[in-house]
Amino acid sequence: MAESLLKYQANLLNCERLAAMLQGGLPKTLLIDSRSFLEYNTSHVLNSVNICCSKLMKRRLQQDKVSIREVLRNTCHVQDEEKDEVIVYDQCTQDLDGLSTENFLSVLLGKLSSAYKNVSLLTGGFNHFQSCFPTLCEGKLPTFNLPTLSQPCLPVANVGPTRILPFLYLGSQKDVFNREVMEFYEINYVLNTSVTCPKPDYVPDTHFLRIPVNDNYAERIFPWFDKIIEFIDMVRESNGCVVVHCMAGVSRSATACIAFVMKHLNLSSDDAYRYVKDKRPSISPNFNFLGQLLEFEKLL
């Protein structure tokens, strides 16, 4: 066995063995996907949980600011006391020979090996497993041949604006046009992330910002992130309160809020997504926007 494998006390597991285990059930085995949340959300091995490979997560684990068991309980909602074996996979790693100690997979395996007796790495990662056993993978793959014209958001149950931070709400066009709702939540600024949603007459021009983006797989929202953050910060510093909205408060405005949370709370795109998703479960930024959030993360 290679020296690196001995150091981590990790075994190598081939795709055929994992497939047999999945078909027989994994009551005592924890299967961990160590890729980004975007990759995991696109497609992953059945029954796997995601520990996203962000710089922030790696730093927290390296500095022992959080234990691997805490991550599994709080981020993945796993009761790890019930698990005897852990299997980890990334995108395409064959083995650990030559793997840098700064690599997220290396850090993760080190922490898992100190907490569990039986830790294995899936050889070839997700790419190889999916090519061999596509029926044992699940997820939602983006359809890139969608029309470039913006498609209206599907209506969702009207739950009112959602508080993301004390000075920041995420809502829909319907929320913004209900003046009583706006006054109830003491919202006095509006950030509109659409081309077509009109500005309510009662909102002063000085309290309004339009970010003209369509919700499709070609639109670029990334160039607007700085302006979005600048506007929300201005509201915060003036002790005001802003609602960010599009048609339904699902994709464009959710992406804007995630970008702000990344900057304001120093979170990775994955962690910021989860933060906003926990507040407003109906959010669903399109894959194009999720990819641009990953671009933004590299600049922070």
To the question of pTM greater than 0.85 for the whole model, the response is: no
DSSP 136-164: GEE-----TTS-SSPPPPPP------EEE
Q: What is the pLDDT of residue 1?
A: 35
pLDDT per position as a tens digit, 91-148: 888 887 767 888 899 999 999 998 888 999 999 999 999 988 888 998 754 433 333 3
Q: What is the pLDDT of residue 52?
A: 76
In this structure, CATH architecture of domain 162-297: Alpha-Beta Complex (3.90)
Q: Distances in Å between the alpha carbon of 271 and those of 56, 60, 122, 138, 201?
A: 9, 13, 25, 22, 36
**For residues 103 and 300, what is the distance between their CA atoms, to the nearest angstrom?**
19
Please list the active-site residues.
Answer: 246
DSSP 106-143: HHHHHHHHHH-SEEEEETTHHHHHHHH-GGGEE-----
pLDDT per position as a tens digit, 231-256: 999 999 999 999 999 999 999 999 99
Q: What is the pLDDT of residue 19?
A: 92
Q: Which part of the chain is CATH 3.40.250.10? A: 3-138
Q: What is the pLDDT of residue 236?
A: 96
Tokens representing 293? 């959030």
CB 249 within 8 A of CB 162: yes
Q: Is the pLDDT of residue 38 over 90?
A: no
**Average pLDDT for 156-182:** 87
CB 140 within 8 A of CB 42: yes
Fold of 3-138: Oxidized Rhodanese; domain 1 (3.40.250)
Q: Which part of the chain is CATH 3.90.190.10? A: 162-297
Tokens representing 277? 């998703």
